[in-house]
Amino acid sequence: MGKILVIGAGGVGSVAVHKMAMNADIFSEITLASRRVAKCDAIAESVLARTGVTIATAEVDADDVDATSALIERVKPDLVCNLALPYQDLNIMDACLRTGVHYMDTANYEPRDEAKFEYGWQWAYHDRFKEAGLMALLGSGFDPGVTSVFASYIKKHLLDRIDTLDILDCNGGDHGQHFATNFNPEINIREVTAPSRHWADGQWVEGPALSHKQTFDFEAVGEKNMYLMYHEELESLAKHYPEIKRIRFWMTFGDAYLKHLEVLQNVGMTRIDPVMYEGREIIPLQFLKAVLPEPSSLGETTKGKTNIGDIATGSKDGQDKTVYVYNICDHEEAYAETGNQAVSYTTGVPAMIGAAMILTGKWTGQGVFNMEQFDPDPYMDMLNKHGLPWQVKELDAPLAF
Ligand code: NDP
């Protein structure tokens, strides 16, 4: 039984608090706070209607450490679950240190003016959390999050030694819009337009964004083009599993999405540096976000499935093996259960499970941790029970390229 403060009332925050309310034996009191309290109130109404549980709401600017600390002092949670944007990570960690409360999130810190994805800033808090006797759990979404737990499950149960690891993220959903992103457009476009990077033989190999693709036949979705990308879990997996020789991340994109993105990039709309417009500075990508559909509005129309998982090669009992651990999630089922599409669902459910690991004491530690540093079994068990069942398959051969 524990008290939780969730910050961020977007699609992910909405799914997470719905699922927390469905697990009242673990989450005895839930407060949802965000920049605009009206968004929290709307989610609270849906939670009450769907689960019969009343959650508290509050307004906070999480860029303001004093205001966030004051809210934490007032709510007195056992854990702060940060589901706002990556820009707020360090400020919320600071507020947790100041008030003596555990911390978790689903995405690594990014400075606003630079699309730079790395754990360095948050890992630098390790000693301070340790000295305070507090735990910070980083990246309990699907990727990072479940994909990292899949890797530790593979290492614990399926392979004695992992040689290569490929993370495959396929969203086979169709929302019927010309161009929209399934989570925060600003964060999504920064990620997709960043140079590709993968880990090979102890170093990073960089290439232009979206320049390397292959086709893969995803169960329940079909054949899709997937593109080599950098993704933050590569950094922590390379650190915690030095035996893995090559770690890569692939994401599927349709041709129409890529064409729109190319045009937007070519005309400068994805820039994150300020430009002057009618006498004031604006950031083109932030303006673009304002004209794109809100990801949370896509739930009603999105059909199809996501299929996300890890393919690992290595050896078990002296035999070479390729194993695939994956989850398939249906957009319409996710929407029926929580009022949000599967991309929010596949992030919000793991956020609830990460929080449950901390509140139930199944995962404990003092300092800053990534997902793959803990026992995967209780987490994998909760995935099966709370809407994200996974499967294991042995493949005849590794990925083609
Ligand atoms: P949204 O943009 O839908 O939601 C973010 C929420 O945070 C909004 O309610 C927003 O308020 C609020 N917020 C923004 N700034 C502040 C602030 N300064 N203070 C308080 N609240 C603030 O994003 P998503 O729900 O799609 O994503 C949430 C997080 O999950 C992001 O960090 C994203 O990167 C991460 N994510 C992780 C994934 C994974 O698999 N690991 C996958 C998908 C997302 P307002 O509504 O007023 O703008």
Give the pLDDT confidence of 88-115 residue by residue, as tens digits.
999 999 999 999 999 999 999 999 887 6
Q: Where are the beta strands (DSSP E) in 246-304?
A: 246-252, 275-277, 280-282
pLDDT digits (tens, 9 = 90+) for 255-299: 999 999 999 999 999 999 999 999 999 999 999 999 999 888 888
- Residue among 85, 119, 302 whose CB has most ligand 1 atoms within 8 A, to mutate: 85
Averaged pLDDT, 364-382: 98
Atom nearest to 141 CA in ligand 1: 41
ipTM of model: 0.99
Cα 154 from Cα 174, distance rounded (Å): 31
Q: What are 395's strand-pairing partners?
A: 322
* Of 183, 232, 352, best ligand 1 pocket probe by most atoms within 8 Å of the beta carbon: 183
Report whether 344 contacts 12 (CB < 8 A): yes
Residue among 112, 347, 349, 388 to mutate when testing ligand 1 (max atoms within 8 A of CB)? 347
Indicate whether 43 pLDDT > 90.
Answer: yes
DSSP state of 243: T
Structural domains of the chain sorted by starting position, each given as residue range(s) with its CATH number in brackets? 146-338 (3.30.360.10)
Q: What is the distance in A from the centroid of ligand 1 to the CA of 178?
A: 23
> Residue 24: its pLDDT value, please?
96
SS3 168: strand
Mean pLDDT value of segment 62-67: 98
* Burial class of residue 38 in the structure, from the number of CB atoms within 10 Å of its CB (0-12 exposed, 13-18 middle, 19+ buried): exposed
Cβ(21)–Cβ(94) below 8 Å: no
Confidence of residue 400 (pLDDT cuts 50, 70, 90): confident
Ligand 1 center from residue 82 Cα (angstroms):
9
Closest to 189 (Cα-Cα) out of 121, 122, 268:
268
Q: Whose CA is nearest to atom 27 of ligand 1?
A: 12
Over 90: is that where the pLDDT of 309 sits?
yes
For the chain, what percent of residues have pLDDT higher than 90?
90
ω into 144 cis (within 30 of 0): yes
Both structure tokens of 326: 């994956």
Residue with tokens 């999050």: 145
**Pick the residue with more confidence: 193 or 129?**
129
Between the CA of 154 and the centroid of ligand 1 the distance, in Å, is 30
User: 171-213: per-residue pLDDT in tens?
Assistant: 999 998 989 988 888 888 888 999 999 999 999 999 999 999 9
Cis-peptide into 242, omega within 30 deg: no
Query: What local confidence, expressed as pLDDT, does residue 183 receive?
Result: 81
Strands 203-207 and 196-200: antiparallel
Lowest model confidence (mean pLDDT) among 106-115, 169-178, 365-374, 385-394: 106-115
* Encoded amino acid at 353, one letter: I
- Which atom of ligand 1 is the closest one to the Cα of 36? 47
Atom of ligand 1 nearest to the CA of 295: 3
Distance CA 247, CA 33 (A): 36
Q: How far is CA 137 from CA 213, 251, 314, in A?
A: 32, 24, 28
Binding pocket residue ranges, ligand 1, CB within 6 Å: 7-13, 34-36, 39, 60-63, 83-86, 88, 106-107, 139, 141-145, 183-184, 187, 295-296, 344, 347
Across the range 8-14, mean pLDDT stands at 95
Nearest-CA residue for atom 11 of ligand 1: 35
CA distance 379 to 327: 14
Distance between Cα 85 and ligand 1 center (Å): 4
Taking Cα atoms as reference points, which of 267, 266, 241, 253 lies closest to residue 376?
Answer: 241
Atom of ligand 1 minimally distant from the CA of 11 = 25
Q: Is 162 helix (H, G, I), strand (E, B) or coil?
A: strand
Alpha carbon distances (Å) from 193 to 32, 269, 401 = 32, 12, 22
The share of the chain scoring above pLDDT 70, in percent, equals 100
Q: How far is the CA of 20 from the centre of ligand 1 (A)?
A: 17
The residue whose CA has the least distance to atom 29 of ligand 1 is 83
Given CA atoms 163, 243, 208, 170 in this order, what sign does their dihedral have?
A: positive
Alpha carbon 184 to its chain's center: 11
Q: Measuring CA to CA, which residue among 184, 206, 304 is closest to residue 254? A: 304
How far apart CA 261 and CA 264 sit, in angstroms, is 5
Instruction: Report whether pLDDT(375) > 90.
Output: yes
Backbone torsion region of residue 48, taken as left when φ is above 0, otherwise alpha when ψ lies between -120 and 50, otherwise beta:
alpha
Spatial CA neighbour of 183 closest among 372, 359, 347: 347
